[in-house]
Structure 1
Amino acid sequence: MSQTASTSPASVEDLLSRRRSPAERIQHVLHGNPALSPLIVLIAALIVFGIVSEGFLRPQALSLLVQQMAVVGTLAAGQTLIILTAGVDLSIGMAMVLSSLVMAKLAFGGMPSFLALLIGIAVAVLTGLLNGFLVTKINLPPFIVTLGTFSIFTALSLLYAQGQTIAVNPNSFLLVTGRSLSIGSVSVTWGVIFMVAVFVALGFALRNSAWGRHLYATGDDADAARLAGIRTGRVLLSAYVVAGLCVGIAAWIVAGRVGGADPNAGLNYNLLSITAVVIGGTSLFGGRGSVVGTLIGALIVQTFNSGLALAGVDPNYQVLATGILVILAVSVDQWIRKVKG
């Protein structure tokens, strides 16, 4: 009597694993861990710049680096939610500027700082709500919508501030995000602490809530998610609204950093936030990525900018390096998405 050997799923997986080439194994590992590739880049960048620039890896220098990326990091956290849904927000930087101007001007005019802060954050949430409404209810492409609102928010910012920078009383509660806490020889601003809190909250929500799972499902395949009973329109709208809340917090952080608000301060933040998200391993096609990767991506952008500056490299090459990083990140994402089962 002959016995028929059965093959368990585990043994099949082992067999397939043995047949994969080293490149395919790396591809599978990176596919399952989106934050791994940016982490490798960050570690390599820190080592290289630590060798090239004396003092780059000192605790005080690293603390300053983190403080410099707090605004971009907070914006990038909100941008991650939108890119996870296969969208993009080109207006996020100018929405932050408009929000910060509202906060600063109301506080400058005598309104209690806390109330001015709440109104400024409400303005930021409304900018996200406007973008989300146009995308979900009018069915316009996110790229076109946010390109249009970028111009609208820019014009509103210039008109509201009359093209002038608004300074705030140094003792105002609005500037608390620029104040520092000393931990040994290292100083950390409250803005950095708030940025970390944003990442922790979003990371928990995306990983452990039904909303997070619905967000990933909508970004991966909106039609399939809709057939599965997910209200994709509501999920998309919520992503833009929560991103707007992140914009409001970023506006508070930038107000504390510059001591007020500048209507011309946000031109680069749109692209920097997208750059951090893409370098952090979140796919522009939606459904894949994490806020942890985005945090690493923001650190990579600031590490390259600070490291090249300390090394005495021409600022134009810093921009060149950022562009190359973006292209490489998108190329790696395309390669990872081709992973075979």
Structure 2
Amino acid sequence: MSTTKLPPIAQLGPFIALLIACAFFSVTTEHFFSGANLSLILQQVMVVGVIAIGQTLIILTAGIDLSCGMVMALGSIVMTKLAADLGLPAPVAVLAGIAVTAAFGLVNGLLVTRIKLPPFIVTLGTFNIAFAITQLYSGAQTITEVPEAMTWLGNTFALGGAQVAYGVVLMILLYLGVWFWLRETGAGRHVYAVGNNPEATRLVGIPTERVLLGVYVLAGAFYGLASLLAVARTGVGDPNAGQTENLDAITAVVLGGTSLFGGRGMVLGSLAGAVVVGVLRNGLTLMGVSSVYQVLVTGILVILAVTVDQLSRKAAR
């Protein structure tokens, strides 16, 4: 079976789960299917959704990135402080923030490829480093004087009676672009090959270390774009953001059908997984269910998704 393909049911699984969740909450709640509520769900997941793109690329190579949320928070602080304190033009400040997050991706990638450290340990360390730098650089203070150009993606436009944020459109376009790259280009297929069997990939002449390094840097760039979306959505640079987004992104990727063992998955599934989590939290909130039970349901779904992945791997042997 091709490493870039999944069985049809595995590809459709996240989308089926999304349809079931939407159908359930449309019956059990009164306002779930309103345009305003659906628009709110998409706005709530757009930051984690973009982080999940980078997380998907790393998990496809059989790695994992625990630092993604804090790197995103650092990027948001860098771009907002440069604009607010130094008066840099918004585009320059945003590019500087993305450069910082991409640099963290480069550090992660170099430690994984050159020193051969496990991705889990490397990114656990850079999670703490990013958190410390974020707190020190911001003085643990929220940056409020954010230029309007940085919050533009948080603005909305009318579509079918709902107000859709421009950031949501950007998220969808990024997913479509990465989906096309992974599916239709040689470089994208190399990502799957490295995750499926790195030694065999190296023996056929594909530079596995270069592919891995590129994946980590690219993931870092996506975290930078997520930084911009976080600023656009909240209107501030928050040094306390990003502390749970790593787990949310991993949850979205796992629910989206990407194998934690690498080499199998579809990036569009991660978008569906992120929206599934958003729908569950929103629907349960509308039902008046405590947030503790929302976390419980999400945890059960993650375990079920990994169990299905493990069983499917055994069945394919």
With the length of structure 2 as denominator, give the TM-score of the two structures: 0.96
Kindly indicate whether the alpha-carbon contact (under 8 Å) linking 1:161 and 1:263 is maintained by their aligned counterparts in 2: yes
1:134 Cα deviation (Å)?
Answer: 0.7
| 4+ aligned runs moved over 4 Å, structure 1 | none
The two structures, once aligned, show a CA RMSD in angstroms of: 1.3
1:167 equivalent in structure 2: 144
Distance 1:90 1:316 in 2: 23
1:140 equivalent in structure 2: 117
1:258 Cα deviation (Å)?
Answer: 0.8
Unaligned runs of 5+ in 2: none
Kindly indicate whether the alpha-carbon contact (under 8 Å) linking 2:35 and 2:163 is maintained by their aligned counterparts in 1: no
1:229 Cα deviation (Å)?
Answer: 1.1
1:32 Cα deviation (Å)?
Answer: 4.3
Distance 2:12 2:208 in 1: 29
The letter for the 2-side match of 1:335 is L
1:33 Cα deviation (Å)?
Answer: 4.8
Kindly indicate whether the alpha-carbon contact (under 8 Å) linking 1:94 and 1:266 is maintained by their aligned counterparts in 2: yes
1:265 equivalent in structure 2: 241
Distance 1:327 1:141 in 2: 22
Distance 2:6 2:28 in 1: 29
Distance 1:56 1:30 in 2: 32
Tell me if 1:251 matches 2:227: yes
Kindly indicate whether the alpha-carbon contact (under 8 Å) linking 1:35 and 1:292 is maintained by their aligned counterparts in 2: no
1:137 Cα deviation (Å)?
Answer: 1.0
Unaligned runs of 5+ in 1: 1-28
Distance 2:186 2:217 in 1: 17
1:339 Cα deviation (Å)?
Answer: 2.9
Task: Specify which of 130, 141, 159 is matched with residue 153 of structure 1.
Answer: 130
Distance 1:230 1:130 in 2: 22
1:1-341 counterparts in 2 under 5 A? 31-109=7-85, 110-169=87-146, 172-340=148-316
1:45-104: CA deviation from partner (whole Å, max 9, x where unpaired): 111111111120122211111111000100001100000000000000000000000011
1:283-317: CA deviation from partner (whole Å, max 9, x where unpaired): 00000001111010001110111011110001100
Distance 2:163 2:157 in 1: 5
With the length of structure 1 as denominator, give the TM-score of the two structures: 0.89
Kindly indicate whether the alpha-carbon contact (under 8 Å) linking 2:6 and 2:264 is maintained by their aligned counterparts in 1: no
1:30 Cα deviation (Å)?
Answer: 6.7
Distance 2:176 2:6 in 1: 22
Larger Rg: 1
Taking a change above 3 Å as real, the CA distance of residues 125 and 340 of structure 1, as seen in their structure-2 partners, is closer
1:202 Cα deviation (Å)?
Answer: 0.5
Amino-acid identity (%): 51
Report the secondary structure of 1:45's partner residue: helix
Kindly indicate whether the alpha-carbon contact (under 8 Å) linking 1:34 and 1:293 is maintained by their aligned counterparts in 2: no
Kindly indicate whether the alpha-carbon contact (under 8 Å) linking 1:30 and 1:36 is maintained by their aligned counterparts in 2: no
Distance 2:253 2:77 in 1: 26
Distance 1:89 1:340 in 2: 27
Report the secondary structure of 2:307's partner residue: helix
Report the secondary structure of 2:243's partner residue: coil
Report the secondary structure of 2:295's partner residue: helix
1:177 Cα deviation (Å)?
Answer: 1.3
Taking a change above 3 Å as real, the CA distance of residues 106 and 139 of structure 1, as seen in their structure-2 partners, is same
Distance 1:165 1:130 in 2: 27
